[in-house]
Amino acid sequence: MLDVIPAQTQDELERCLAARHAVFCVERGVSPDIERDEWDALSPGCGHFLIREEAADIGALRCRYAGDTAIIQRFCVLKEHRGGGRGRAALEAVEALCQAAGIGRVELDAKFEVYGFYEKCGYTRISAPFEEAGIPHVKMAKELF
């Protein structure tokens, strides 16, 4: 069973950051200086979520909050755990947490190569392609209510 756990301790945050490092820095070649930023702390304006399956950490994401909008960032699933609907299930879990907190809109910057995945999850492309960390992206959004 897939669980999405809000990071509430420094240990949980470090586990989120470790998953991100494995995917973005090791697998994708993004510099650690770019991958981490001032939002990588336990703070009221940003939530970090650990994605777990059968007692194993398999991914992570973070949400920055701007009014009634959550901005999903750094969403990753470890390579060996991709497929089988895990990414969709993690997104749905985070969307449900956002909705329960009164957040009505979710936005994210999707890597251009996988924006079709987000479309299948109900997101709409709202920008032209742009480059972030040397990778083409598009901005996407989904209304929760």
Q: Where are the domains of the chain?
A: 2-143
Distances (CA, A) of 10 to 15, 23, 40: 9, 20, 11
CATH of domain 2-143: 3.40.630.30
Distances (CA, A) of 99 to 32, 37, 103, 119, 123: 32, 26, 5, 19, 15
Tens digits of residue pLDDT in 24-80: 999 999 999 999 999 999 998 999 999 999 999 999 999 999 999 999 999 999 999
Percent of the chain with pLDDT over 90: 92
The residue behind tokens 């990778």 is: 135
The residue behind tokens 């090791």 is: 26
125 touches 119 (CB < 8 A): yes
Residues 6+ apart with CB under 8 A from 82: none
